[in-house]
Chain A
Amino acid sequence: MKFLRMRSKLPHLAACFLIAATIFVLPIDARRAAGEEPPVFAITNAKVVPVSARTIERGTVVIRSGIIEAVGADVTIPGDARVIDAAGLVLYPGLIDAFTDTGLEEAQPAAQTPAPSRVRGTPGPAAPQQQPGLSPDELQGVTPYRQAADLLDPNSKKIGSARAAGITTALVAPRGGIFTGQCSLVDLRGGEAGGMILRTPVAFNIDLVSRRGFGRGYPSSPMGVFALVKQTLLDAQRYSTVWSIYNATPGAGRPDYNRALEALQPLVRQQMPAIFPADSPAEIQRVLDLAAAFKLSLILSGGTESGKIASILRERNVPVLLSVRYPEREKDADPEAKEELNVLRRRVEAPGCAAALARAGVKFAFQSGDMANPKDFIRNVARAVEAGLDADQAVRALTLSPAEIFGIADRIGSIEKNKTANLILTTGDLFKADTRVKYAFVDGRKFDIAEPDTRHERDAGTSGPPDPGNSRGQYESEE
């Protein structure tokens, strides 16, 4: 009996110990396993391109806990650091795709799906709601309350392939509808969605394209979309006014709460910018006028021909998220038909746009324009360099410039002490055709980028979760 009791105490002790271990030890293990505690790295002998400072021909960068701890030619390597001898490699800040849908859930809410309806007279708040589960806001594509951060799928295959192209950070814009929602800056590291968010919300995204066809509900034309944008902004302004009156004036009638108009308040109060798509000078002018009329803080997206009115953009201090998805010759064009001269002109001159913006002093950053293959991102930036853009400026437009445009240059965009450890190691100059990205560091986590066509298997000994969907980059959390 005694013996038994003695024996029964032992498991008790063991249990206590286990509980303690669970509290104090397991979480750490779990965090390690989830990649929350990146090891210390010292990247040595690399050509370091900090972007914010002069290039260091042979330098060392130490990163700890996801933060850059030291940068320089003479840096003492900490004892606990894993040394990566990067001789012959070039270290850049992680590239930023300044506008993309990378990482978004595949299935977007069905905003602005065609809603065949009997519409009579003027459109009003009581828009017909024939599809169950869709609010009138969603039917019209006015969903400014949506946020990319809430719509992320960390397992998205696009995350891995973007990272393999050297993109460590993306401005992710919600899609679908007109006021599609608010953009978030996302570190492309996979794992928990919450850990990937650098900052949110960063800007509103407004799309000016209706995906309805003729006769499939309002708005169905560019004119209609633009009118809807104007009306919505007017409504948001009025919402601000009537609530101010109500709050300041006892006896005033209480206005109605409105989810969409409430969400738009930072826009009409100039607390957050709006990203508008515009390519041609006429489109850009239209958006500039709209922004001026409603006093919006404006960021242009696309900007294929923005170089033509660069001086105006400089004067108005409007940044451009320049798409490097250049116009292409129509795939199924009649081979015997001559391309119209203005179409040919637009196509051939597109890579020269970045240089024109740079010459005029317009702040710009490159975006991939949702191109199918992220590798084309750098390849097409290289074409901008061929077309006259200074290579240093091109690197800047992939790193520090977007960080500045999004107001987060104190955290990302360059290789500096205390900045987020978003880095890429390449086999050479970024814009050389045979250069490839060898390693990417996102929040200090190291990803080996497999050589094209020679995907090697994950090392047997590595622990930690597989990086889901990462077909071309291997996440390495432990030795």
Chain B
Amino acid sequence: MAKKREAQTRALVGLTVLLAACAVWAETADRGAASASATVIKDATILTVSHGIIAKGSILIRDGKISEVGQTVDVPAGARVIDAQGQFVMPGIIDPHSHLAQNGGVNEGSLAVTSMTAVEDFIDPTDVDIYRELAGGVTTTATLHGSANPIGGTSAVIKLRWGQDAKGLLFGGARPGLKFALGENPKHTRTQERYPGTRMGVEDVIRQAFTEARIYAQEWDEYSKRVAAGDKTAMPPRKNLTLEPLAQVLRGERLSFVHAYRADEMLMMMRVADDFGFKVNSFEHALEGYKIANELAAHGAIVSTFSDWWAYKVEAYDAIPYNAALLTRKGVMVSLNSDSAEEARHLNQEAAKCIKYGGLTEEEALRLVTLNPAKQLKIDERVGSIDPGKDADLVIYNHHPLSVYAVPQKVLIDGQIYFDIRSDQDMRKRMAEERKTLEEKDRQTGDKERPPRKPGDRDAGKDRTRTEVPPQGDKGE
């Protein structure tokens, strides 16, 4: 659903960062070693998000963790000092719902239940959007299966450590998740006639799958009992990659991320969860959440929504920009998500909108994109605020991050600088040089065996390596 809007804005903003990104990727690949030494961010306005603002404070980072935060900190000998006078530091933005860095198709659209598919297997560390989002202050994202099916695939939480390989991006120790989808997307029949075709059918598919998962779990329990009792004839049940994640949801070992828009479908899903004895971790988008704030609060479901993005399809017509604020006031844990590589680059501004619409405090607003999504993903022990002991995932802005003028200057993950607006400029130059070199090499060593162009033979010898404007009179090709 994000795609339309994304497409419009992406073309405008994409090109600028693209060039620099590729070079950074090459450059940061072997950066890991420097983390041993300490780093101090000095004299910044620190937005801790958890315990207010420190007007002119410092942060000491050791071994990738925040070691001290306060007016002053110990500066160990040999520490790298970042002078952030006049600048603002906030926790790295956490985007709890994206499809970033995937190259496995995002949707396995063939079946209604595709919990056997795993986004984690298809992390693309070369996706340039990683760098673009990093440049927008995002340090962690949950990258999810698409919403084509009532039950999609398992998700992955990654840190945007641009330059690392696929495994190096994974947020180690994050609780695994599973994507569900309600409403228009999964009931869309799209290119095939596939059950379900209605919201009723979506519920049926989910109930059916959980019923199977419950039986599956019982089979394994019985098998374990027989083995424990010394029964040598016990045959192990089939390990079923489709039912296994669902059984984990039933046991509370896996988080459920439920894509939903309308109030009625969210109520349905909570009834299903109650019947099967698990909790909906979070409703994703949930634009009608404000209509059922009390029910959501009672269930304990987290809502991850948009600030003011609506009317892009029928089920998004009843959205209001007050959704996040109203739900927050009713005691629901709320986060903002991007669902889009473009939106992800200014989630700080999305948070700011919730001050205008609904009157959240600045700290409440910032929590929508930091501490609250951390709680949603159950990684708040590690990230989401500036507190000693947490990962040093930090963004240094030139202005207050709730201002439209705020631009990230440096972005740190685990204490390492992964984005720096100044070195970005240098890298653009180096990339231009690299391109020149490569193009020259391409001309020299490219496939030279192509037959030379004969007069009248339009295709023979067609220059496949051409990067220049074609010669005049040859434009009809």
Cβ of B107 and Cβ of A221 under 8 Å apart? yes
Residue from A120, A221, A328, A345 within 8 A of B104 (CB atoms): A221
Interface residues of A in 198-231 (CB under 8 A from B): 212-224, 226-228, 230-231
Cβ of A252 and Cβ of B235 under 8 Å apart? yes
Q: What would be 16 A-B contacts, judged by CB atoms less than 8 Å apart?
A: A116-B192, A120-B195, A121-B205, A122-B243, A214-B110, A214-B190, A216-B191, A223-B119, A231-B240, A253-B235, A282-B166, A285-B165, A336-B469, A342-B126, A348-B446, A433-B449
Cβ of A347 and Cβ of B442 under 8 Å apart? yes
Cβ of B235 and Cβ of A217 under 8 Å apart? no
Cβ of B126 and Cβ of A280 under 8 Å apart? yes
Cβ of B232 and Cβ of A282 under 8 Å apart? no
Collect the chain B residues with CB atoms within 8 Å of residue A242's CB.
235-236
Cβ of B195 and Cβ of A386 under 8 Å apart? no
Collect the chain B residues with CB atoms within 8 Å of residue A285's CB.
165-167
Collect the chain B residues with CB atoms within 8 Å of residue A245's CB.
232-235
Cβ of B435 and Cβ of A213 under 8 Å apart? no
What separation, in Å, do the CA atoms of A299 and B250 have in the docked complex? 39
**A5 at the A/B interface (Cβ < 8 Å)?**
no
What separation, in Å, do the CA atoms of A379 and B450 have in the docked complex? 11
Distance in angstroms from B320 CB to nearest chain A CB is 33
Cβ of B114 and Cβ of A224 under 8 Å apart? yes
**B455 at the A/B interface (Cβ < 8 Å)?**
no
Interface residues of A in 227-258 (CB under 8 A from B): 227-228, 230-231, 234-235, 238, 241-242, 245-246, 249, 251-253, 255
Cβ of B166 and Cβ of A221 under 8 Å apart? no
What separation, in Å, do the CA atoms of A122 and B116 have in the docked complex? 10
Known contacts A122-B212, A222-B104, A351-B445; is-contact A282 B435 (Cβ 8 Å): no
Residue from A118, A219, A340, A383 within 8 A of B18 (CB atoms): A340
Known contacts A122-B209, A252-B233; is-contact A223 B108 (Cβ 8 Å): yes
Collect the chain A residues with CB atoms within 8 Å of residue B124's CB.
282
Interface string of A330-344 (1 = CB under 8 A from B): 010001101111101
Distance in angstroms from B39 CB to nearest chain A CB is 29
What separation, in Å, do the CA atoms of A286 and B235 have in the docked complex? 31
**B441 at the A/B interface (Cβ < 8 Å)?**
yes
Cβ of B445 and Cβ of A386 under 8 Å apart? yes
**B4 at the A/B interface (Cβ < 8 Å)?**
no
Distance in angstroms from A369 CB to nearest chain B CB is 14
The stretch from B132-140, B339-347, B460-468 touching chain A is B460-468
Residue from B122, B234, B464 within 8 A of A223 (CB atoms): B122
Known contacts A282-B123, A345-B438, A386-B445; is-contact A255 B235 (Cβ 8 Å): yes
Interface residues of B in 203-250 (CB under 8 A from A): 205, 208-209, 212, 232-236, 238-243
What separation, in Å, do the CA atoms of A386 and B243 have in the docked complex? 53
**B93 at the A/B interface (Cβ < 8 Å)?**
no
**B431 at the A/B interface (Cβ < 8 Å)?**
yes
Interface residues of B in 92-117 (CB under 8 A from A): 103-114, 116-117
**A133 at the A/B interface (Cβ < 8 Å)?**
no
Cβ of B112 and Cβ of A121 under 8 Å apart? yes
Interface string of A320-363 (1 = CB under 8 A from B): 00000010110100011011111011011001000000000000
CB closest chain-B residue, reference A312: B165
**B30 at the A/B interface (Cβ < 8 Å)?**
no
What separation, in Å, do the CA atoms of A212 and B22 have in the docked complex? 32
**A79 at the A/B interface (Cβ < 8 Å)?**
no
**B260 at the A/B interface (Cβ < 8 Å)?**
no
Cβ of B232 and Cβ of A379 under 8 Å apart? no
Q: Closest 9 CB pairs between A and B?
A: A221-B105, A223-B104, A215-B191, A224-B108, A252-B233, A218-B110, A223-B117, A227-B116, A215-B192
CB closest chain-A residue, reference B242: A122
CB closest chain-B residue, reference A250: B233
Interface string of A103-126 (1 = CB under 8 A from B): 000000000000011111111000
Distance in angstroms from A211 CB to nearest chain B CB is 13
Collect the chain A residues with CB atoms within 8 Å of residue B110's CB.
119, 212, 214-221, 224
Known contacts A121-B212, A251-B233; is-contact A219 B108 (Cβ 8 Å): yes
Query: B-contacting residues of A (Cβ < 8 Å)?
Result: 116-123, 212-224, 226-228, 230-231, 234-235, 238, 241-242, 245-246, 249, 251-253, 255, 280-282, 285-286, 326, 328-329, 331, 335-336, 338-342, 344-345, 347-348, 351, 376, 379-380, 383, 386-387, 433
Residue from A222, A241, A348, A376 within 8 A of B236 (CB atoms): A241
Known contacts A215-B194, A339-B467; is-contact A282 B125 (Cβ 8 Å): yes
**B434 at the A/B interface (Cβ < 8 Å)?**
yes
What separation, in Å, do the CA atoms of A52 and B323 have in the docked complex? 75
Residue from A119, A282, A433 within 8 A of B194 (CB atoms): A119
Collect the chain B residues with CB atoms within 8 Å of residue A344's CB.
435, 438-439, 442
Assuming A221-B108, A285-B165, A348-B438, what are 10 further A-B pairs, CB within 8 angstroms? A119-B111, A120-B112, A121-B111, A123-B113, A215-B109, A215-B190, A227-B241, A255-B235, A282-B125, A335-B469
Residue from A119, A235, A281, A341 within 8 A of B22 (CB atoms): A341
**B19 at the A/B interface (Cβ < 8 Å)?**
yes
What separation, in Å, do the CA atoms of A227 and B117 have in the docked complex? 5
Collect the chain A residues with CB atoms within 8 Å of residue B447's CB.
326, 328, 380, 383
Known contacts A234-B241, A282-B125, A342-B126; is-contact A223 B105 (Cβ 8 Å): yes
What separation, in Å, do the CA atoms of A380 and B240 have in the docked complex? 45
Distance in angstroms from A362 CB to nearest chain B CB is 18
Distance in angstroms from B220 CB to nearest chain A CB is 12
**B52 at the A/B interface (Cβ < 8 Å)?**
no
What separation, in Å, do the CA atoms of A335 and B165 have in the docked complex? 33
What separation, in Å, do the CA atoms of A386 and B117 have in the docked complex? 42
Known contacts A118-B194, A223-B118, A227-B241; is-contact A348 B111 (Cβ 8 Å): no
Collect the chain B residues with CB atoms within 8 Å of residue A226's CB.
104, 117-118, 121-122
Collect the chain A residues with CB atoms within 8 Å of residue B442's CB.
344, 347-348
Cβ of B126 and Cβ of A282 under 8 Å apart? yes
**B477 at the A/B interface (Cβ < 8 Å)?**
yes
Collect the chain A residues with CB atoms within 8 Å of residue B111's CB.
119, 121-123, 218
Distance in angstroms from B448 CB to nearest chain A CB is 9
Collect the chain B residues with CB atoms within 8 Å of residue A246's CB.
235
Residue from A120, A234, A238, A341 within 8 A of B435 (CB atoms): A341
Collect the chain A residues with CB atoms within 8 Å of residue B104's CB.
221-223, 226
Collect the chain A residues with CB atoms within 8 Å of residue B236's CB.
238, 241-242
Q: Which of A222, A223, A331 has the most CB of B within 10 A?
A: A223
**B252 at the A/B interface (Cβ < 8 Å)?**
no
Collect the chain A residues with CB atoms within 8 Å of residue B208's CB.
121
